[in-house]
Amino acid sequence: MSDLAMLEKTILEQIAAAPDEAALEAVRVATLGKKGSISALLATLGKMSPDERKTQGAAINLAKDKVTEALTARRDILKSAALDARLASETIDVTLPLRDAAAETGRIHPLSQVWEELTTIFADMGFSVAEGPDIETDDYNFTKLNFPEGHPAREMHDTFFFNPKDDGSRMLLRTHTSPVQVRTMLSQKPPIRVICPGRTYRIDSDATHTPQFHQVEGLVIDKESHLGHLKWILHEFCKAFFEVDHINMRFRPSFFPFTEPSLEVDIQCRRDKGEIRFGEGEDWLEILGCGMVHPNVLRACGIDPDVYQGFAWGMGIDRIAMLKYGMSDLRQLFDSDVRWLSHYGFKPLDVPTLAGGLST
């Protein structure tokens, strides 16, 4: 074996034995570096005769290429092994539990959600949303709504009053959202189509009554709307709100001072282990009152009852929310118990839409 062959063999052995990239680099420097063994051999070429140079040069360059190639191959192996070794040491515990996303733990109160649901439905039917103050006058809450003087609802029995003013008048907490209808009729010319959601107050407290509760009323005033339209709207609303294909409704005559004729509306349902199913069963559940706006109310609000006509309805938001979502005790709506709110509340991204379904 020639010296060159010996050298090449030795170098290749050194390369194969290099344990890491640093050792490999040392081999490279020792062979191909400025003062490396192969570089030294190449440097001798200049002193050789052309013939000798031709043969030796080819041999040395061949050895150089082999070494270079071996270096590259070994480097790749070592680099890959080094990366594997590093990665092997870089582990995390992927079973560490995450923190719940804020958007998953935050909650919208069922009342707010249902408020948006019913607004969505009525907006689609062309209704806008009117609101008014909670603290009202006796005139707007009672007189303009055709409550006779001395009507029991006007007394301390049902109504929260404030202390009389110097002129003897006294403000009260509205007992229904009908004063918003009055305000709407006084400020807007027919045709009128509004819903009036809001907080209302009555002196009452038990499992089905709280001193504050919420109502949504509807009002339509134009020249042709009648009980048939009213029935249709309420039927459509109930189907959309309760998200059922069919719902049986019973309209029966009743009495309210501010409507004539007046109707109460029941929906058919079946109670099953605390759940209520609509459109089946034997029970009739009263859910709202409605009727044609009383001519006295129209007159009191500056509308001629022989020219204009219309209807109104009112229902408890708390009540329909409880019915739809299976909440049993009205008082819990105002208890602010985070366990209850987390269970019955809605996630902030669950915005009711008609396209996406109100609650799905």
Query: Backbone dihedral region of 291: left (phi > 0), alpha (psi from -120 to 50 degrees) or beta?
Result: left
Q: Which part of the chain contacts other proteins (CB under 8 A), choosing from 60-68, 72-80, 255-263, 320-328?
A: 255-263
List Cβ neighbours of 117 (8 Å cut-off, separation of 6 or more): 241, 352, 358, 359
- Please state, in angstroms and rounded to a whole number, the distance separating the CA atoms of residues 190 and 152: 32
- Asked if 351 interacts with other proteins (CB under 8 A), we say yes
- Asked if 253 interacts with other proteins (CB under 8 A), we say yes
Render 267-285 in DSSP notation, one character per residue: EEEEEETTEEEETSSSEEE
Minimum Å gap between C-beta 143 and other proteins is 14
Interface residues for other proteins in 42-101 (CB under 8 A)? 96, 99-100
- Asked if 260 interacts with other proteins (CB under 8 A), we say yes
Minimum Å gap between C-beta 266 and other proteins is 9
Q: Which of 133, 188, 239, 281 is in the footprint of other proteins by CB under 8 A?
A: 133
Q: Which is nearer to other proteins, 28 or 193 (CB)?
A: 193
Interface residues for other proteins in 4-43 (CB under 8 A)? none
Q: What 3 state SS string does 4-32 have?
A: HHHHHHHHHHHHHHCCCHHHHHHHHHHHH
Q: Which two tokens stand for residue 347?
A: 């996630």
Please tell me the number of Cα atoms within 13 Å of 249 on its side-chain side: 22
List Cβ neighbours of 299 (8 Å cut-off, separation of 6 or more): 305
Q: Which is nearer to other proteins, 9 or 343 (CB)?
A: 343
Burial of 235 (0-12, 13-18, 19+ CB in 10 A): middle
- Please state, in angstroms and rounded to a whole number, the distance separating the CA atoms of residues 118 and 201: 21
Interface residues for other proteins in 93-132 (CB under 8 A)? 96, 99-100, 102-103, 105-109, 111-112, 116, 119, 122-129, 131-132
Interface residues for other proteins in 180-239 (CB under 8 A)? 191, 193, 199, 201, 203, 205, 211-212, 220, 225-229, 231-233, 235
Whether residue 184 contacts residue 219, with contact meaning beta carbons closer than 8 Å, is answered with yes
- Asked if 139 interacts with other proteins (CB under 8 A), we say no
Q: Which of 32, 66, 143, 160 is in the footprint of other proteins by CB under 8 A?
A: 160
- Please state, in angstroms and rounded to a whole number, the distance separating the CA atoms of residues 258 and 181: 11
Q: Which part of the chain contacts other proteins (CB under 8 A), choosing from 1-9, 22-30, 33-41, 348-356?
A: 348-356
Site string for other proteins, 301-340 (x = CB under 8 A): ----x---x-----------------------xxxxxxx-
Minimum Å gap between C-beta 72 and other proteins is 38
- Asked if 144 interacts with other proteins (CB under 8 A), we say no
Minimum Å gap between C-beta 76 and other proteins is 37
Strands 259-272 and 135-137: unpaired
